[in-house]
Amino acid sequence: MSPAGLLAAPLAVAVALGAGVWLVAVIDILVAGTVAGSRPGVGVAVLRPVRAAALRLLQRRTSTERPDWQAWALAPALLVGLGATMLTAVPLDRGVAVADVPHGVILLGAAAAMVIVPVFLAGWSPNSYLSLVGGYRMFAQALSYMIPLALVLIGAALPAESLAFGDVVADQQDLWNVVRMPLGLPVYLVAASGLAFWGPLSLPSGTDLSGGIDLEASSVHLAAWRFGQRAVLVGAAAVGAAAFLGGWAGPVLPGAVWTVLKTALLLAVLVAGRHLLARIRPERFVVLAWTVLMPAALVDIFATGAWLL
């Protein structure tokens, strides 16, 4: 990579991540308002996330009794980093990607597996019981969504005979994976919600834990942590758009626009899920994941294999 590229790449990822997280917040405000029956104007919705972030900048941090400061401070940074890593592997347009590595799908899987680490650190370090329960809940749900997540992504890569996201997208120009493997995207969206501990799978940060892993965070730390969570959501949506919705493929508009539109569409679906589906209980999700999600992912990958033969 050229020196200019070395500078431009992180900048591009940062801008994309920031824009994505802002978009999640705006969609969230609009969907929540619609469900609640009092939607604010788009102007208000567009500015509110920025205003809320500014407010966090003005606050000072609080501390709990004997926290593990290093681990606590590391958690949001790690989470943002993982969201960024997911985004780097996704091509914006044909041949335009920060790092369309030959094993992009594996990289994504590795990043997704690592998400447990910052989430558990965030739960464990404040030395607070409900946060800790939140951290452990992440283990329970991650053990349940990880294998289905990996299976449907490998299923998406099968027809392309490549693990690079560029090839996976290029292979879908005629027929998107969402049609070729109808079970893939639904399973992936459930897994993505689990990965970003979002909506019905916000078990680590649920209202029943009064925020759980979020409970003791304050000020910039809280803002960074929530940014990280939504960064993972954005990363997961971008990967979903590439793996199942044909990435840059689409008529008239330039490829990059299609990639962004499809990512936004998946984000809207994930945000709608947050407001339209109740949070599931941890043990129930574990059972559902192993008895429904996992077989569905296996059927998905076997059917794809059979179709390719």
Partner 1 sequence: MAVGGRLRRPVERLAAGAPVPVFAITGPGTARAVQHLRLDHRLEVVDSPRHATVLLVAGPLPGPLAEPAARCHDALPHPRATVWWAAPDHVSARQVLPDAEPVAAGTQPAATVLRVHREVLAGSRPSEATVLPDEDPVAWRGVGPYGHGGRGMTGGHPFGRPLAERDGDLRDGLALDAVPVTFGPFLPALPAGLTLRAVLQGDVLQQVQVEAAGSSTGRVLPPAGPVGADWDAPGREASRAGASGRGAFDRVQHEPVPLAALETARARHHLGWLAEALRLAGLEALGLRALRLAATPDPDAVAADRLGRAVRRTGALTALGRGRAVLQRGQVAGRDLGPVARAAGVAEDRRAQHPAYRSLGFEPVVHRSGDTRARWEQRLAEIAQSLDLAARADRQVIGPGEPVEEPRGPGGARAATCRALLGLVGDLLTGAEWGEAVAALASLDLDPYAPAPARGTA
Q: Which residues bind partner 1 (CB under 8 A)?
A: 31-33, 35-38, 40, 47-48, 50-52, 54-55, 57-62, 65-66, 129-130, 133, 136-137, 199-200, 202-203, 206-211, 214-220, 222, 274-284
DSSP state, residue 291: I
In this structure, the chain runs to a length of 309
CB of 194 to partner 1, least distance (A): 14
Residue number, 226 or 262, with CB nearest to partner 1: 226
Residue number, 51 or 251, with CB nearest to partner 1: 51
Q: Please give the Cα distance from 205 to 198 (Å, whole number).
A: 9
Residue number, 127 or 162, with CB nearest to partner 1: 127
Residue number, 162 or 218, with CB nearest to partner 1: 218
Check: CB of residue 141 under 8 Å from CB of residue 201: yes
CA distances from 19 to 23, 130, 264, 271 (A): 6, 32, 11, 16
CB of 130 to partner 1, least distance (A): 8
Q: What are phi and psi of 96, to 5 degrees?
A: -110, 100
Q: Bridge partners of 96?
A: 93
Q: Please give the Cα distance from 190 to 237 (Å, whole number).
A: 11
Residue number, 128 or 304, with CB nearest to partner 1: 128
Check: CB of residue 127 under 8 Å from CB of residue 244: no
CB of 212 to partner 1, least distance (A): 10
Residue number, 63 or 173, with CB nearest to partner 1: 63
Residue number, 220 or 299, with CB nearest to partner 1: 220
Give per-residue burial for 168-194: e unless 16+ CB within 10 Å, then b.
bbbbbeeebbbebbebbbebbbbbbbb
Token representation of residue 5: 């590229």
CA atoms within 13 A on the CB side of 62: 9
Q: Please give the Cα distance from 125 to 68 (Å, whole number).
A: 5
